Chains A and B, each alone.
Chain A
Amino acid sequence: MFSEKNSIYLIAGYIVFLGGLGIYLLSLALRRRNLRRDEALLDQITEQIKQEEAENAKQANQQ
Chain B
Amino acid sequence: MEKTLGRTVTPSPAASQTTRGIGIAAGAMFAVALLLVFLVAPRVQDEAGGNVQRIFYFHFSSALIGFVAWFVTAVAGGLYLRRRDQKYDRVALASAEIGVVFITMVLLTGMLWARPVWNTWWTWDFKLTLSALQLLMYIAYLMLRSGIDDPGRRGRFAAVYGIVGALTIPLNFLVSRVLNSVHPAVIGGSVNGAQQGSFGITGDIGLIMLFCFITFTLVYLFMLRTRVELQEQADHLTFRRIELTN
- In angstroms, Cα B233 to Cα A61, docked, is 39
Which one of B34, B219, B233 contacts A39 once the chains associate, using CB atoms below 8 Å? B233
Q: Give residues 3-50 of A contacting B (CB, 8 Å).
A: 4, 6-7, 9-10, 12-14, 16-17, 20-21, 24-25, 28, 31-32, 35, 38-39, 42, 45-46, 49
Which one of A12, A25, A28, A49 contacts B112 once the chains associate, using CB atoms below 8 Å? A12
Taking residues whose C-beta sits less than 8 angstroms from the other chain, chain B's interface range is: 20 to 34
Contacts of B59 in A (CB 8 A): 13
| Given A28-B230, A35-B237, A1:B38 Cβ within 8 A | yes
Closest 5 CB pairs of A and B: A13-B55, A6-B116, A20-B105, A13-B112, A13-B109
- What is the interface of chain B mostly: helix, strand, loop, or mixed? helix
Shortest B95–chain A CB gap in Å is 13
Q: Give residues 171-196 of B contacting A (CB, 8 Å).
A: none
**Interface flag for B52 (CB, 8 Å):** yes
- In angstroms, Cα B230 to Cα A28, docked, is 8
Shortest B53–chain A CB gap in Å is 9
- What is the interface of chain A mostly: helix, strand, loop, or mixed? helix
A17 pairs with B244, CB closer than 8 A: no
Contacts of A17 in B (CB 8 A): 58, 62, 105, 109
B112 pairs with A45, CB closer than 8 A: no
Shortest A17–chain B CB gap in Å is 5
A6 pairs with B230, CB closer than 8 A: no
Which one of B51, B58, B104, B219 contacts A1 once the chains associate, using CB atoms below 8 Å? B51
A4 pairs with B223, CB closer than 8 A: no
A25 pairs with B223, CB closer than 8 A: yes
| Given A16-B105, A20-B104, A39-B237, A7:B51 Cβ within 8 A | yes
Shortest A47–chain B CB gap in Å is 12
Contacts of B34 in A (CB 8 A): 14
Task: For A49, give the chain B residue with the smallest CB separation.
Answer: B244
- In angstroms, Cα B185 to Cα A14, docked, is 22
| Given A13-B112, A17-B58, A20-B105, A4:B51 Cβ within 8 A | yes
Q: Give residues 45-64 of B contacting A (CB, 8 Å).
A: 49-52, 54-55, 58-59, 62
B109 pairs with A4, CB closer than 8 A: no
Which one of B50, B101, B105, B237 contacts A6 once the chains associate, using CB atoms below 8 Å? B50
- In angstroms, Cα B237 to Cα A9, docked, is 44
**Interface flag for B145 (CB, 8 Å):** no
Contacts of B115 in A (CB 8 A): 9
Contacts of A6 in B (CB 8 A): 49-52, 116
User: What are 9 A-to-B residue pairs whose CB atoms are below 8 Å?
Assistant: A1-B38, A6-B52, A9-B55, A9-B115, A13-B59, A14-B34, A14-B55, A38-B237, A46-B244
- In angstroms, Cα B108 to Cα A13, docked, is 8
Shortest B41–chain A CB gap in Å is 10
Task: For A35, give the chain B residue with the smallest CB separation.
Answer: B233
